[in-house]
Chains A and B, each alone.
Chain A
Amino acid sequence: MKVQITIAAISAIMIASVVVAQRAPAAVAIGKPAPNFSAPAASGKTISLNDYKGKWVVMEWNNKDCPIVVRHYNSGSMQATQKWATEKGVVWLSVCSSAPGKQGHVDADGANEMLKAKGATVSQYLLDPQGEIGRMYGARTTPHMFVINPAGETVYMGAIDDSPNASAANTSKARNYVREALTLGMAGKPIEVATSQPYGCGVKY
């Protein structure tokens, strides 16, 4: 009986692996090289991740009309994190993977207008209307955050903080995982929370 169970379990694991592989093609994993991409930015430049080797990089999935994104921008907490990070030399890449006609989709002008209105200090705002970078990273919510170290490895992926709320009530008390990962990472310390379940609106592919 024990043997039968083991065989059943092993065959089931193989099936499960196939299912997982089909579902999560995202190449992003903690400690592994973050996949390179090349994409147009709202600045008019073409941006590649490889351009930033040697620097800390934050990626923030954005949909300006998602209520959870709105909460983080209306409270000023996202801009404060951007300012804090970019002043330390961190490269902040916001990415919009909303397809044309879907919530949060912007062209370059729309993105620049929004960034100005919100007082956002992102390094570049990447336009990904086909969702290529989004799918490459398995981005599933807005916001969905990734932190990449100077060696080009992903060291954090997940939620912006530990406060999956619809309203701003608890934002100030939240534990900001991106700040924490950057602070610990830059100090050469292990990153305590390297992953967390991202929360927010589904990315509008």
Chain B
Amino acid sequence: MIPVIALLMIQTASTPHCKVELIAENTAIAPGESARIGVRVTMDDGWHIYWKNPGDSGIPTKINWNLPKGWKVSDMKWPTPQAIEADGFTSFGYEKSVLFMTRIVAPKDAKIGSNIPISADMEFLICKESCLPGNAKLSTFLKVGDAALIKPTKWAEEFESTALYLPRSTANWNLSAENIHNIIILSGQHPDYVQLGEVKFFGEDPGAFDNSLHLPAVSRSAGIFTLNIPVSPYASKPPTRIKGVLTGFGTHSYEINVPITN
């Protein structure tokens, strides 16, 4: 069996201070089945690229996938970003390395033994003290194979660990949000008691909330918390929902999407 990754080609790329690779979890994909593929970015020390909301500065990293007719690609999973602070401003992004992964689905009539061209066009801004533009057109072939013969690639573990640390659901947190004089009071309860670390909120909608992450968290008992998240002075109208990612509750991060009452 030909490993998919052996066929990796980079057609055109301008990727200063980083390496960009198109990788797959498995050596092949079976007809009608799904598989994870992704773009992996490895950055030089001190350089960073940006989350979907880049925060106080930056540009969202963009990846467009191109697959043949009949093949489907799901929305990209954004790993939890980190705060990058400079000059009193806070941006949201990634340092060192990040895997932007997505799931593709092969059509039921995909022919076993065929090689399917897939490509990803990527655009980003990479900054340390200075900022530089980056772009890459990545392409590879995915082998359609018999399910029994598919093996994990050397990247499989990285797909697993990235998936493990993707933001988790807060469906049973009893979250509520109230707008009091342009400060969103977000309350809830972590279902397992956790000692609150420094709780950080990464707002998803650009310009909706203050990007400052040093939020006072009031932990009262048994995982109950209240967070105060200021509305951004750049918000064009009062937000009606608060969406984003929370960190500081143990090792995992959590996704929130809560309506705001006045």
Contact = CB atoms under 8 A, between A and B. Distances in A.
Interface of A: 4-5, 8-9, 11-13, 15-17, 19-20, 23-24, 26, 29, 65-68, 70-71, 102-103, 138, 140-141, 157-158, 164-167, 193-205
Q: How large is the interface on B (under 10, 10 to 19, 20 to 34, 35 or more residues)?
A: 35 or more
Contacts of B214: 19
Interface of B: 53-54, 56-60, 62, 86-89, 91, 123-125, 127, 129-135, 180-181, 183, 185, 187, 206-207, 210, 212, 214-216, 218, 220, 226, 228, 230, 232-236
B14 to A, nearest CB: 11
B260 to A, nearest CB: 14
Contact of A202 (B87, B234, B235): B87
A105 to B, nearest CB: 11
Nearest to A205: B87
Contacts of A102: 129-130
Residue of B53, B131, B134, B214 with highest tally of chain A CB at under 10 A: B131
B57 A67 contact: no
Nearest to B229: A16
Nearest to B60: A164
B131 A66 contact: yes
Contacts, number: 134
Contacts of B123: 165-167
17 contacts: A5-B187, A11-B218, A12-B218, A13-B183, A16-B215, A17-B183, A24-B210, A68-B59, A103-B129, A103-B131, A166-B133, A200-B58, A201-B130, A201-B131, A202-B58, A202-B89, A202-B131
